[in-house]
Amino acid sequence: MRLGIIGTNWITEEFVAAAHASGKWTLNAVYSRNHERAKTFAEPFHVTDIYTNIEAMAQSDDIDAVYIASPNSLHFEQAIAFLKEKKHVIVEKPVFSTLDEFDRAHTIANEHGVYLLEAARHMFEPNFKELQQHVSRVGDIHSAFFVFAKYSSRYDQVLEGEEPNIFSLNFSGGSLVDLGVYPLYTAVALFGVPRSATYNPQIISTGVDGGGPIVLQYEGFSVTIFQAKNSNSFLHNEIHGVNGTLKFDNIAGIEEIQWLDNRSADPIELAVRSSEENKMQFEAEAFANLIEKNDRETYEVLTSLSRNVLSLMCQLRHDNGLYFAVEQQH
């Protein structure tokens, strides 16, 4: 399938490499506000279709789908431009800033017969699927602890008095939507929508959340999440139950899973080994297969999961008075 991309950052480069490695995609067009930046990005991929105008690229007959990895606040308008031209749209997480944007965009996608997908890559990796299969081993769940705290180099800019996009309400930034989205996706995918959710964020100088603990309350157990972009954590993730504990490493890309029975001291290794160095290849393949097979059933599952996670993030922000600029404009 013929792919266009919006954004010329590291994650776009990773996705294009993964898309090519999957054998399902060919990069045909690159958009950037800066022509030279787009040209520099496109050259290694031998792409000559360079755009600095979104509408012109959306109207191109040379692409079937677009991957959007621009600042969060721009996702909606850019996605709409392509959906209206009957192009499939893949949006890097977080898919949109608000539920209103989500619902409006999906309505347009359905009206034009195209797919709108959120690139939450860890959902498509083999070891996440292994984790899903083994959750039942713990028996009755008692609790779970998920963590994703990674110090951002751009937080240094905040400390110097600047406001980079990812730490700006104007660009729908903050730790919750950038890193917290990973453990929230994991919790909702494994356990469903919680009965209640609370967040105790640290609000930083730019007005966004720098990180903090989240508690999701389910029937009979709770999930505690710690996520942050202004600190590091080196802890593992755990799911605890009457039979034992599932322990796994990086929630954004699992490589190790252990089963520890409550009545045995010997851990059992459950993770599978993958030859793919670029973990985004799994989602690139999954999206291509979904589109090619017109797999509406899988699409509805992914869409529901995406909306539930976005709904949680909006609630957690709003409970703490965190409103993006796009929300204040509506």
Q: What is the CATH number of the domain that holds 243?
A: 3.30.360.10
Q: Sign (positive/negative) of CA torsion 288, 125, 69, 8?
A: negative
Q: Is residue 297 part of a domain?
A: no
What is the sign of the dihedral through the CA atoms of 309, 326, 76 and 212?
A: negative
107 and 133 within one domain:
no
The domain that contains 70 carries what CATH number?
3.40.50.720
Domain match, 61 and 148 both: no
Task: From residue 329, give the alpha-carbon distance in Å to each of 275, 323, 325, 326.
Answer: 46, 10, 6, 5
Residues 221 and 313 in one domain: yes
Find, among 248, 250, 252, the residue nearest to 260 by Cα. 248
Contact (CB, 8 A) for 22 and 288? yes
pLDDT score of 321: 98
pLDDT of residue 65: 99
Domain boundary among 119, 134, 167: 119
Which amino acid, residue 295? D
The reply to whether 226 and 109 lie within a common domain is: no
Q: Is the C-alpha dihedral spanning 16, 20, 22, 23 positive or negative?
A: positive
Same domain? 152 vs 217: yes
Domain enclosing residue 44, as ranges: 2-119
Dist CA 121 CA 70 (whole Å): 16
Domain check: are 91 and 237 in the same one? no
Alpha carbon 116 to its chain centroid, in Å, reads: 14
Say yes or no: 50 and 143 in one domain.
no
Integer Cα distance of 237 and 185 in angstroms: 14
Nearest to 30 by CA among 7, 14, 46: 7
> Would residue 300 count as lying in a domain?
no
For residues 148 and 202, membership in a common domain is answered with yes
Q: Which residue, 119, 153, 174, sits at the end of a domain?
A: 119
- Is position 322 within any domain? yes
**Number of domains into which the chain is organized:** 2
**Same domain as 131, residue 113:** no
In a domain, 303, yes or no: no
Residue 6 within any structural domain of the chain: yes
Does one domain contain both 72 and 15? yes
Peptide bond into 94 cis (omega under 30): yes
DSSP, res 279 = T
Residue labelled with tokens 């590091």: 232
State the Cα–Cα distance between residues 298 and 66, nearest whole angstrom. Answer: 20
> How many whole angstroms from its chain centre is CA 284?
13
Tell me what pLDDT residue 329 has.
61
User: Would 298 be classed as within a structural domain?
Assistant: no
Q: What CA–CA distances, in Å, run from 150 to 77, 168, 224, 247?
A: 29, 18, 17, 19
Q: Is residue 294 part of a domain?
A: no
Both 98 and 233 in a single domain?
no
In this structure, the answer to whether residues 136 and 173 fall within a common structural domain is: yes
User: H helices of the chain, where?
Assistant: 10-22, 35-42, 54-58, 75-83, 99-111, 126-134, 155-159, 175, 181-191, 281-293, 296-319, 325-329
Residue numbers of the chain with a pLDDT score lower than 50: none
Residue in this structure with the two tokens 């619902």, named with its chain if needed: 103
Two tokens, residue 43: 């050259």
What is the C-alpha to C-alpha distance for residues 53 and 202, in angstroms, rounded to an integer?
38
Domain end: 101, 119, 137, which one?
119
Please count the other Cβ atoms lying within 10 Å of the Cβ belonging to residue 98: 20
Residue at 88 is within a domain:
yes
- Alpha-carbon distances, residue 70 vs 6, 9, 61, 86, 224 (angstroms): 6, 9, 22, 20, 30
| DSSP letter string, 96-138 | -SSHHHHHHHHHHHHHTT--EEEE-GGGGSHHHHHHHHHGGGG
